[in-house]
């Protein structure tokens, strides 16, 4: 099918803004014009493209065209930069990154990309692929090695997590050692409802344990909550090592490390900006994740 770039841009705006009215404001047109463009695109494609929910969401067919809209927008931005004889055109790249990676090693990579703007969406590394499928993102850091349709994937390395707690927490909840009984009773921290890392650890160490849990949905504050004794948690070495060294955190289980492999998934699209982002992310992963894998503290 032949698509109208203006109609595709309108579809992406509706999905991004959640309502026809906000999309109209962003595009500086009337809500009626937005409705007409979406209707024309639906008639052309022969599919319903958006669910009139609050907020509006793309259908499966709509997600395909939202991805196309973002690809067209990226290529238009790069072409405009070349025509303006600018080697540093302001191309915008929407990315999905897990919170722990963003808090530890991803930001320096993004800072090394002058001329490229990014729209970072936080999501658990096990749930980022939905963002690629629905067109929310052009690239993602994921724990899934199987590429999404239309994407390519490359390994980044792994983040190592270990069960950690404060000294005061250990004295209160497991003074005689970290045992399955202690793990079943001691308060546990989770990042959010998608966070299964602590439960994965417990399935091997204390099968069937269902300890009380608190949710702390921010990476830095999650570590801080562990340090303050709100609960025990699986923390990445990249965040915990310095706190262990100065005695503010204590490893609970010397054999309890879990390695979470990370992969870079991106659209199969020839884009200078996207390729630059991928290269910097890969370089940062080599400097941090793979170096951590080779360190003496890694199991």
pLDDT above 70 for 91 = no
Closest Cα to residue 169, out of 250, 64, 273, 257?
250
| Pair 31, 153 in one domain | no
Report residue 293's pLDDT band, with 50, 70 and 90 as the boundaries: low
pLDDT above 70 for 271 = yes
Alpha carbon separation from 240 to 123, 150, 162, 193, 222 (Å, rounded): 21, 37, 9, 22, 11
| Pair 3, 109 in one domain | no
| Pair 36, 149 in one domain | no
Q: Are strands 258-267 and 57-58 parallel, antiparallel or unpaired?
A: unpaired
Report residue 298's pLDDT band, with 50, 70 and 90 as the boundaries: very low
Residues sharing a CB contact under 8 Å with residue 43, sequence separation 6 or more, in sequence order: none
| Pair 47, 140 in one domain | no
| Pair 100, 195 in one domain | yes
Q: How far apart are CA 117 and CA 89, in angstroms?
A: 10
DSSP for residue 116: E
| Pair 181, 112 in one domain | yes
| Pair 55, 193 in one domain | no
Q: What CATH number does the domain containing 17 carry?
A: 1.10.10.10
Closest Cα to residue 218, out of 75, 98, 61, 137?
98
Q: What is the pLDDT of residue 171?
A: 97
The string over 267-283, giving b where at least 16 C-beta atoms fall within 10 Å of a residue's C-beta and e elsewhere, is bebebbbbebbbebbbe
pLDDT in tens, 198-224: 999 999 999 999 999 999 999 999 999
Q: Cα angle at 153 between 277 and 58, to 5 degrees?
A: 85
Q: How many CB atoms lie under 10 A from the CB of residue 84? A: 9
Domain count, the chain: 2
| Pair 9, 138 in one domain | no
| Pair 133, 218 in one domain | yes
| Pair 114, 216 in one domain | yes
| Mean pLDDT of the region 75-83 | 73
Whole domain around residue 287: which residue ranges? 90-299
Q: What is the mean pLDDT of the chain?
A: 88
| Pair 192, 178 in one domain | yes
| Pair 245, 294 in one domain | yes
pLDDT above 70 for 82 = no
Give the predicted TM-score (pTM) of the model.
Answer: 0.73
Q: What CATH number does the domain containing 152 carry?
A: 3.40.190.290
Q: What is the pLDDT of residue 74?
A: 81
| Mean pLDDT of the region 58-86 | 80
pLDDT in tens, 31-62: 999 999 999 999 988 899 999 888 999 998 99
- Environment class of 164 (CB within 10 Å of its CB; exposed 0-12, middle 13-18, buried 19+): buried
């Amino acid at each position: 099918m032949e698509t109208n770039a203006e109609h595709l841009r309108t579809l992406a705006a509706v999905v991004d803004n959640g309502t026809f009215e906000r999309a109209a404001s962003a595009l500086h047109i009337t809500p009626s014009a937005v409705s007409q463009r979406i209707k024309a695109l639906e008639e052309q494609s022969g599919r319903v493209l958006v669910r009139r929910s609050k907020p509006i969401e793309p259908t499966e067919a709509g997600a395909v065209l939202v991805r196309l809209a973002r690809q067209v927008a990226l290529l238009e931005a790069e072409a405009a930069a070349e025509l303006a004889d600018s080697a540093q055109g302001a191309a915008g790249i929407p990315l999905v990154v897990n919170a722990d990676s963003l808090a530890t090693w991803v930001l320096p990579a993004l800072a090394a990309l002058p001329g490229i703007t990014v729209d970072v969406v936080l999501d658990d590394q096990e749930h980022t692929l939905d963002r690629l499928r629905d067109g929310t993102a052009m690239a993602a850091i994921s724990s899934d090695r199987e590429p999404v349709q239309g994407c390519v994937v490359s390994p980044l390395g792994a983040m190592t997590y270990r069960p950690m707690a404060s000294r005061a927490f250990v004295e209160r909840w497991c003074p005689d050692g970290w045992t399955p009984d202690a793990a079943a009773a001691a308060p546990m921290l989770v990042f959010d409802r998608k966070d299964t890392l602590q439960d994965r650890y417990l399935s091997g160490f204390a099968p069937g344990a269902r300890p009380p849990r608190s949710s702390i949905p921010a990476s830095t504050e999650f570590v801080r909550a562990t340090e303050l004794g709100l609960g025990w948690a699986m923390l990445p070495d990249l965040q915990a090592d310095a706190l262990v060294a100065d005695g503010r955190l204590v490893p609970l289980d010397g054999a309890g490390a879990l390695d979470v492999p990370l992969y870079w998934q991106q659209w199969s699209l020839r884009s200078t900006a996207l390729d630059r982002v991928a290269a910097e992310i890969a370089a940062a992963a080599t400097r941090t994740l793979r170096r951590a894998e080779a360190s003496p503290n890694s199991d």
